[in-house]
Every structure is written in C-alpha cells, then in structure tokens.
A and B are shown apart, each in its own frame.
Chain A
Amino acid sequence: DAGVTQSPTHLIKTRGQQVTLRCSPKSGHDTVSWYQQALGQGPQFIFQYYEEEERQRGNFPDRFSGHQFPNYSSELNVNALLLGDSALYLCASSLTSGGENEQFFGPGTRLTVL
C-alpha cells in the first residue's frame, strides 16, 4: 500500500518564476493538506482540499493556489516566486468521509528560489 507521494523531490527556481508541486494521497484517502516548512521551523498550514474544493486556508497570499483532481491527487502552485518561498513543502492526506482522520505526510518537495 503506497503512502503519500510527492514530486519532484527537489526543485530550483529563480525569483519571479512559477512552480507546480504534485501530491498523490495515500490509497483510500480523500483529503489533501499542504504545509510549508522553512528551514529550522515547524510546518505552516497553507490549505486543505476536499471534494475538489479548498476547504480551509492558512495565512498565505493568493500567490499560493491549489487544485484537487477527481482521483484525489493535488497540486500546489506558487506564482511570482520570492526568495522567502524557499522551503520544504509537505503534503498530507487523510480521510474525511469516515474512518481515520489522522494526517499522513509525504516526504516533501524541497524548493530553492535563487
């Protein structure tokens, strides 16, 4: 049973560019959450998707957007990259419709903005 997978594992971009990160949830899960973890800090909640809609959002600018597909996979898009967007981006999946609500995390995508 595959866990949460994320791609790519590493990414290097320059300021002003746009980036798309991808996440496949654990088999059977229907909810995906995204977190940003800056170096030396705890993860910060970006947003959560359920039934292809954004259900909750943290304190992040509109440059951060997302999408959830019918197969429950998700993308995180960041526009107009800033140096401060350099971080580990973590995806977590869970099951809203009954069953376990525990969030399972993927290995993350390390984004470096130069």
Chain B
Amino acid sequence: AQSVTQLGSHVSVSEGALVLLRCNYSSSVPPYLFWYVQYPNQGLQLLLKYTSAATLVKGINGFEAEFKKSETSFHLTKPSAHMSDAAEYFCAVSTAAGNKLTFGGGTRVLVKP
C-alpha cells in the first residue's frame, strides 16, 4: 500500500519569498513521485516528476523538488513566489509509470503582495 502526507493544508507566503511545500510518502516499492498544481475550477497540471533518475528534479515555473529516500520525502520548493503561484498543490505517488496515482490531501498556497 502507498500513501502520501502533505504537511500543512494552507501556506501563506509573501511575493518574492521562498515557497516550501512538504510531502512525505509511504511505498512498499521504489516510488514514482509527482507534484501537480490545480488552479480554481481546473484540472491538474504536472509540475515535475521523480522516476528514479536524478534526485533533484526541476520542473516548470521555477519549481524543483528533492527526493530523499532516507527521509521518505519529496518536498517542493520555489526560491521566489509570484502572485500567479497561488493555487492548490498535490503530491502523488505511484508504484510504476502509468499506474494509479495516490494523492495527498493538498496544500493551498496564498501569495501576499
């Protein structure tokens, strides 16, 4: 069985400040890990993915995440928040490419001017 825990259902950051969203996973096999973003009334857009290659993964819109096996974590960061980053972010785990995704509960990001 696999599971994902996202610490903090809401995060508030100032424009230009660091964005840090936490994700811890549980998986019985080497995981595939993903971060998705969801804007209001829209579907999910993939930000980045880890598929057993480099542990530091760079994604779109300046986001990156680091896979730490010893900590079973896959935290998402962005050095400088932009107003357009206000959205909900979901971490997800899969046991293999294309298999079902198990999502965390999501973290809503508010960006203050």
User: Which residues from chain A sit less than 8 Å from chain B, CB to CB?
Assistant: 4, 31, 33, 35, 40-45, 48, 56, 58, 90, 92, 94-96, 101-108
Those of B73-93 within 8 Å (CB) of chain A: 90, 92
A45 in complex: contacting residue of B4, B98, B101, B106, CB < 8 Å: B101
Residues of chain B at interface, number, CB under 8 A: 22
Whether A102 and B101, one on each chain, are in contact in the complex, defined by CB atoms closer than 8 angstroms, is: no
Whether A101 and B97, one on each chain, are in contact in the complex, defined by CB atoms closer than 8 angstroms, is: yes
- State A103–B106 Cα separation when bound (angstroms): 18
With A42-B103, A44-B103 as contacts: A106 and B43 at CB distance below 8 Å: yes
A-B contact pairs, 5 of them (CB 8 A): A44-B103, A90-B43, A101-B97, A102-B97, A108-B43
Whether B103 and A43, one on each chain, are in contact in the complex, defined by CB atoms closer than 8 angstroms, is: yes
B100 in complex: contacting residue of A41, A58, A104, CB < 8 Å: A58
B28 to chain A, nearest CB (A): 16
With A41-B105, A43-B90 as contacts: A107 and B99 at CB distance below 8 Å: no
Select the stretch in B13-21, B44-52, B62-70 that faces chain A. B44-52
- State A108–B104 Cα separation when bound (angstroms): 18
Whether A102 and B90, one on each chain, are in contact in the complex, defined by CB atoms closer than 8 angstroms, is: no
With A41-B106, A42-B90 as contacts: A48 and B100 at CB distance below 8 Å: yes
Whether B106 and A56, one on each chain, are in contact in the complex, defined by CB atoms closer than 8 angstroms, is: no
With A90-B43, A90-B44, A105-B45 as contacts: A42 and B105 at CB distance below 8 Å: yes
**Residue of B at shortest CB range from A3?**
B43
In the bound complex, residues from chain B placing their C-beta under 8 Å from that of A42 are 4, 90, 92, 103-106
**Residue of B at shortest CB range from A50?**
B98
Whether B43 and A102, one on each chain, are in contact in the complex, defined by CB atoms closer than 8 angstroms, is: no
Whether A96 and B43, one on each chain, are in contact in the complex, defined by CB atoms closer than 8 angstroms, is: no
With A41-B105, A42-B106 as contacts: A105 and B43 at CB distance below 8 Å: yes
